[in-house]
């Protein structure tokens, strides 16, 4: 590759002839009648297959891939997840990837694609990023069906006595569209419904998405959907999807979406892609069902949690593992030299703009200063009793002195190992050392896994525990609306639920401008929302929004069709 430009992700993805997905399925021990083909390169797997295999097969090792606090460019977490699985296969282990389906919001907004990168991708790359098997559209349809039923009930004389000011159920669309964050609906006269203010969220932030990701089977999905609270009556009683008699129809729309999707990596290994909640505004992890399927068909499974370890990893442990009963054997924390320099106060990283030249120059002092963030994220994983391996995602401008500085900080912070990995440029071959370190960590004996807080702790105690122990805050400040909501939720019997914190992904704190490892700050809790179907309470911190906006130069500007009808511009 010397002397020639490195090919784009899309060029690399198209340079590989995928294996027939039925062949990948058979290698996993799946029967032909247990998969539903969506063309030759992707399939859904039946829930019956999961039950059959769980009755006979042992579970493989369970590895979480997380990261430092990311920059807007990301630190290559998905790429590392795929590269690690490919590396594990190279050293002789049956390994699978289990990751989320990307939202169209980031695809057409800041990212342009989320299938991994370089020679560590899930393919077909275009399908992965654009619709896949339609799950997110089904989730949006089910969510909006409940919204339509709700407004229809209001239109037809509101027999349940729903208080319009209490309605908490928004509408959703899987596109970043700031103009509809807040809107008034029902305008135009009596036949157009009851005028009221509402909001739109991005589909992956929907509670329906969280429900799908956490459901254990079809009946559990049905029950969870029925528990979703949409509003309250004038006398303060919850109005659920069951009360509006819409939960059954929502389940019907999601029946096929509940089945995990099977794809493959560039090197032909299995990749399970299912559910897609954001980690800054939802729990940020792929589905429990996909993980269960992967674990009984492989020796080791690499799953990914969104954003930094303070975000997706904390929710993986405290929400997903709490509900699934699955416990991880090891974790990988991904770091890049350029991000650590930024956390050390050097340069700025802006999506869509050239990299600051200061980030390309050797600066060991900045790396060491910024690596305080890495140290904190390592601690955020080891507090759960899970051993950590640090993956230093290599870039050509990284120097030996900078890499050694990261290794020293990582080991001093409690990591078992810190490994330079070149999976982006070399695929599985470039992740062999990482694979060996992760296999050793996952095979060292059952971790002393522990949750951060008990079910019995109050909602306030849980929020403060996360803020202080995971974020490094000095404490929590509740705004009046949050105080009122927390008291009401405790009184209504929801105090045992875990907490899903919604905050910026760009800082350990609630304030995106606080880089590195801030301390002494206080976390403002602006709002608290019940997600009774998903089984958690969401606390919104600072100015966090549940509908992103597009940047000044959206990634979708580059996405097009060429003269032969091929998709171009995904990267």
- Of 374, 409, 442, the last residue of a domain is 442
Mark out the alpha helices in 114-193 (DSSP H runs).
125-129, 135-155
Q: Is 371 part of a structural domain of the chain?
A: yes
Closest CA to 501 of 534, 538, 468: 538
Tens place of pLDDT for every residue, the chain, 571 residues? 345 578 888 889 889 999 999 999 999 999 999 999 999 999 999 999 999 999 999 999 999 999 999 988 889 999 999 999 999 999 999 999 999 998 888 888 876 567 889 999 999 999 999 999 999 999 999 999 999 999 999 999 999 999 999 999 999 999 999 999 999 999 999 899 999 999 999 999 999 999 999 999 999 999 999 999 999 999 999 999 999 999 999 999 999 999 999 999 999 999 999 998 888 888 999 999 999 999 999 999 999 999 999 999 999 999 999 999 999 999 999 999 999 999 999 988 876 677 888 889 999 999 999 999 999 999 999 999 999 999 999 999 999 999 999 999 999 999 999 999 999 999 999 999 999 999 999 999 888 999 999 999 999 999 999 999 999 999 999 999 999 999 999 999 999 999 999 999 999 999 999 999 999 999 999 999 999 999 999 999 988 778 888 888 888 888 888 898 888 887 7
Q: 121 and 18 in one domain? A: yes
Q: 109 and 35 in one domain? A: yes
- 10 Å CB burial of residue 475 (0-12, 13-18, 19+) is exposed
Question: What does the block give as tokens for 166?
Answer: 């209490």
Q: 129 and 192 in one domain? A: no
Q: Is 117 part of a structural domain of the chain?
A: yes
Phi-psi bin for 535: left (phi > 0), alpha (psi -120 to 50), beta? left
- Of 414, 442, 470, the last residue of a domain is 442
Spatial separation of the C-alpha atoms in residues 306 and 315, rounded to whole Å: 9
Spatial separation of the C-alpha atoms in residues 434 and 65, rounded to whole Å: 12
pLDDT at 2: 46
Spatial separation of the C-alpha atoms in residues 75 and 393, rounded to whole Å: 7
Q: Is 557 part of a structural domain of the chain?
A: no
Residues paired with 160 in a beta bridge: none
Q: 501 and 406 in one domain? A: no
Cα dihedral sign for 139, 142, 144, 146?
Answer: negative
Q: Is 562 part of a structural domain of the chain?
A: no
Q: 153 and 73 in one domain? A: no
pLDDT at 352: 66
Q: Is 463 part of a structural domain of the chain?
A: yes
Largest CA distance in the chain: 73
Q: 463 and 388 in one domain? A: no
Spatial separation of the C-alpha atoms in residues 519 and 468, rounded to whole Å: 9
Q: How far is CA 452 from the centre of its chain?
A: 20
Are 270 and 264 in contact, with CB atoms under 8 Å apart? Answer: yes
User: Range of 203's domain?
Assistant: 135-240
538-to-180, 349, 485 alpha-carbon distances in Å: 22, 29, 11
Spatial separation of the C-alpha atoms in residues 77 and 423, rounded to whole Å: 11
Are 348 and 81 in contact, with CB atoms under 8 Å apart? Answer: no
Q: 428 and 326 in one domain? A: yes
Q: 271 and 172 in one domain? A: no
3-state SS string for 234-256:
CCCCEEECCCCCCHHHHHHHHCC
What CATH number should be reported for the domain holding residue 486?
A: 3.10.410.10
What CATH number should be reported for the domain holding residue 161?
A: 3.30.1510.10
Q: Give the Cβ contact number of residue 27 at 10 Å.
A: 14
Q: Is 325 part of a structural domain of the chain?
A: yes
Q: Which residue has 């050097």 as its token pair? A: 346
Question: What does the block give as tokens for 385?
Answer: 């009793």
Q: How many domains does the structure of the chain reveal?
A: 3
- Of 174, 209, 240, the last residue of a domain is 240
Q: 171 and 39 in one domain? A: no
Q: 437 and 313 in one domain? A: yes
Spatial separation of the C-alpha atoms in residues 6 and 304, rounded to whole Å: 26
Spatial separation of the C-alpha atoms in residues 229 and 482, rounded to whole Å: 18
Closest CA to 505 of 63, 111, 215, 137: 111
Are 390 and 417 in contact, with CB atoms under 8 Å apart? Answer: yes
What CATH number should be reported for the domain holding residue 50?
A: 3.40.50.300
- 10 Å CB burial of residue 451 (0-12, 13-18, 19+) is middle
Are 81 and 67 in contact, with CB atoms under 8 Å apart? Answer: no
Which residues in 13-158 belong to E strands, given as ranges?
35-37, 43-45, 61-67, 95-99, 116-117, 120-123
Q: Is 555 part of a structural domain of the chain?
A: no
| Phi, psi torsion values for 507, nearest 5 degrees | -155, 155
Q: 372 and 265 in one domain? A: yes
Question: What does the block give as tokens for 341?
Answer: 């320099």
377-to-290, 317, 352, 488 alpha-carbon distances in Å: 26, 14, 27, 33
Cα dihedral sign for 519, 526, 280, 71?
Answer: negative
pLDDT at 72: 85
Q: 402 and 305 in one domain? A: yes
pLDDT at 384: 98
Are 124 and 18 in contact, with CB atoms under 8 Å apart? Answer: yes
């Amino acid at each position: 590759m010397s002397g020639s430009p490195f090919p784009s992700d899309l060029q690399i993805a198209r340079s590989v002839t995928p294996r027939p997905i039925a062949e990948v399925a058979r290698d996993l021990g799946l029967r032909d009648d247990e998969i539903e083909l969506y063309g030759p390169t992707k399939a859904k797997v039946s829930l019956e297959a999961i039950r059959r295999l769980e009755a006979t097969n042992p579970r493989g090792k369970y590895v979480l891939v997380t990261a430092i606090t990311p920059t807007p460019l990301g630190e290559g977490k998905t790429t590392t997840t795929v590269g690690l699985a490919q590396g594990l296969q190279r050293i002789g282990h049956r390994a699978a990837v289990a990751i989320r389906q990307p939202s169209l919001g980031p695809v057409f907004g800041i990212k342009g694609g989320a299938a991994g990168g370089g020679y560590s991708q899930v393919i077909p790359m275009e399908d992965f990023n654009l619709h896949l098997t339609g799950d997110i559209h089904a989730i949006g349809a089910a969510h909006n069906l409940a919204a339509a039923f709700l407004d229809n009930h209001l239109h037809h004389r509101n027999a349940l006595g729903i208080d319009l000011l209490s309605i908490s159920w928004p509408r959703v669309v899987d596109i970043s569209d700031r103009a509809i964050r807040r809107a008034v609906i029902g305008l135009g006269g009596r036949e157009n419904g009851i005028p009221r203010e509402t909001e739109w969220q991005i589909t992956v932030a929907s509670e329906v998405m969280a429900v799908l990701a956490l459901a254990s089977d079809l009946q559990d999905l049905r029950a969870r959907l029925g528990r979703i609270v949409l509003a309250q009556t004038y006398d303060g009683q919850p109005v659920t999807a069951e009360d509006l008699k819409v939960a059954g129809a929502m389940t019907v729309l999601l029946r096929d979406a509940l089945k995990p999707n099977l794809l493959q990596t560039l090197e032909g290994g299995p990749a399970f892609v299912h559910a897609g909640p954001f980690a800054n505004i939802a729990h940020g992890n792929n589905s429990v069902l996909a993980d269960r399927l992967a674990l009984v068909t492989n020796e080791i499974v690499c799953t990914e949690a969104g954003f930094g370890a303070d975000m997706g990893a904390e929710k993986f442990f405290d929400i997903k593992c709490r509900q699934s009963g699955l416990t991880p054997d090891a974790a990988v924390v991904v770091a890049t030299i350029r991000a650590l320099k930024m956390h050390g106060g050097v340069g700025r990283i802006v999506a869509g703009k050239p990299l600051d030249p200061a980030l390309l120059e050797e600066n060991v002092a900045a790396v060491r200063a910024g690596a305080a963030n890495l140290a904190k994220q390592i601690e955020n994983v080891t507090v759960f009793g899970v051993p950590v391996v640090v993956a230093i995602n290599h870039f050509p401008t990284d120097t030996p002195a900078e890499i050694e500085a990261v290794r020293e900080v990582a080991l001093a912070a409690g990591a078992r190992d810190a490994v330079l990995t070149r999976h982006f440029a070399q695929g599985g071959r470039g992740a062999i050392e990482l694979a060996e370190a992760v296999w050793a960590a996952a095979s060292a004996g059952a971790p002393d896994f522990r949750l951060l807080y008990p079910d019995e702790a109050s909602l306030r105690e849980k929020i403060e525990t996360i803020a202080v122990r995971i974020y490094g805050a000095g404490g929590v400040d509740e705004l009046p609306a949050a105080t009122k909501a927390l008291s009401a939720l405790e009184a209504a019997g929801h105090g045992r639920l875990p907490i899903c914190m919604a905050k910026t992904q760009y800082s350990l704190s609630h304030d995106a401008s606080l880089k590195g490892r801030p301390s002494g700050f206080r976390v403002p809790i602006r709002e608290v929302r019940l997600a009774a179907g998903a089984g958690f309470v969401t606390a919104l911190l600072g100015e966090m929004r549940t509908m992103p906006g597009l940047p000044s130069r959206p990634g979708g500007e580059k996405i097009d069709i060429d003269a032969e009808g091929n998709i171009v511009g995904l990267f």
